[in-house]
Amino acid sequence: MRIVFLGPPGAGKGTQAETVSKNEKIPHISSGNLLREAIETGTETGLKARSYIEKGLLVPDEVVVGIIKDRILKGDCKNGFVLDGFPRTLAQAKILDEMLKTLGNHIDVVFYFIVSEDAVVARLSGRMICSACGANYHVQFVPPIKEGLCDKCSGKLHQRTDDKPETVLERLKVYREQTAGLVEYYRNNKILREISSDLKIEEISKNIADIINYELKKHKKTMVG
Ligand code: AP5
């Protein structure tokens, strides 16, 4: 199943994408993680992306599209993937559709995460990331067992540079201006499913799993019929 997670920064897309990835045995492709890895390793893509990310702006389409295309063409994406953070502009959405079409595929379902701005600000201001394995925590909502250390690998936890309050506000503005319009695009394509993200993590996971199971059953029926 080919899934897209769409929604504002801090909506919980990455958290839920990890669960779907484990349950459905499909890779979690996060454009943000791929860009941050590129910055870490000092690649040309990373050098181009750095200043945009630090300011809370979108990285130019031609930079992001390349790394996403390369990732989707890897063997582990043959049976599907969950795309988190991509597409973020209409141009990206159209490029993705075209690319999948040439592979004989399409996006099956787009989850649109609906969340209040107050929740987003609270979530991002308390988010902590493991410097070693990238695991995601929250000082209040998903606290590590030992303060400042990752439960999985004991790596040090840090705050993302773009989670500073002024950058979060810029990211929300950019989302409203450049990404929110994709909701209509996918609604018109009849693949949009709305998800309330103002709930507990486990409740959201259950709602997403129910929709995925429904879509999988529908898909099997079409194949048989
Ligand atoms: P990216 O990394 O994609 O960031 P984002 O979309 O802004 O999303 P976040 O990672 O901030 O939030 P999330 O929704 O995944 O929430 P999470 O699960 O972590 O992008 C970063 C930057 O890269 C962009 O600004 C841009 O510059 C660039 N970029 C990336 N993709 C691009 C593209 N396609 N085009 C151009 N530029 C691109 O949850 C947040 C926190 O809340 C965590 O601490 C978590 O533990 C907690 N939490 C999660 N769910 C809940 C819940 N239900 N209740 C309480 N706490 C919760």
Give the DSSP per-residue string, 107-156.
--EEEEEE--HHHHHHHHHTEEEETTT--EEETTTB--SSTTB-TTT-PB
Token match 């929604």: residue? Answer: 7
The alpha carbon of 127 and the centre of ligand 1 are apart by a number of angstroms equal to 10
Which of 29, 58, 68, 89 should be mutated for ligand 1, with most atoms under 8 A from CB? 58
> Could you give the angle at the alpha carbon of 10 between the alpha carbons of 8 and 16, nearest 5°?
100
Which helix (H) or strand (E) segment holds residue 3: the answer is strand 2-6
Q: Which residues pair with 5 in a beta bridge?
A: 84, 111
Output 146 or 224, whichever has higher pLDDT.
146
The residue nearest atom 23 of ligand 1, judged by CA position, is 32
Q: Which residues contact 48 (CB under 8 A, 6 or more apart)?
A: 59, 60, 63
Helices (H) and strands (E) in the chain, counts: 9, 8
Q: How many CB atoms lie within 10 A of CB 67?
A: 21
Torsion angle of C-alpha atoms 195, 196, 201, 206, degrees rounded to 10? -50
- Residue 218: its pLDDT value, please? 84
Fold of 2-205: Rossmann fold (3.40.50)
- Residue 219: its pLDDT value, please? 77
Grade residue 4 by pLDDT with cuts at 50, 70 and 90.
Answer: very high
Residue 160 annotated among the catalytic residues of the structure: yes
Q: Is the beta carbon of 9 within 6 A of some atom in ligand 1?
A: yes
- Residue 68: its pLDDT value, please? 97
Residue 225 clears pLDDT 70, i.e. is over it: no
> Could you give the angle at the alpha carbon of 115 between the alpha carbons of 110 and 119, nearest 5°?
140
Residue 127 annotated among the catalytic residues of the structure: yes
Span 50-63, average pLDDT? 96
Q: Is the beta carbon of 14 within 6 A of some atom in ligand 1?
A: yes
**What is the position in ligand 1's atom list of the atom closest to the CA of 33?**
2
Residue 111 clears pLDDT 70, i.e. is over it: yes
Task: Tell me the domain boundaries of the chain.
Answer: 2-205
Q: What is the sign of the dihedral through the CA atoms of 80, 86, 88 and 89?
A: negative
Span 144-166, average pLDDT? 95
Residue 88 annotated among the catalytic residues of the structure: yes
Q: Is the beta carbon of 88 within 6 A of some atom in ligand 1?
A: yes
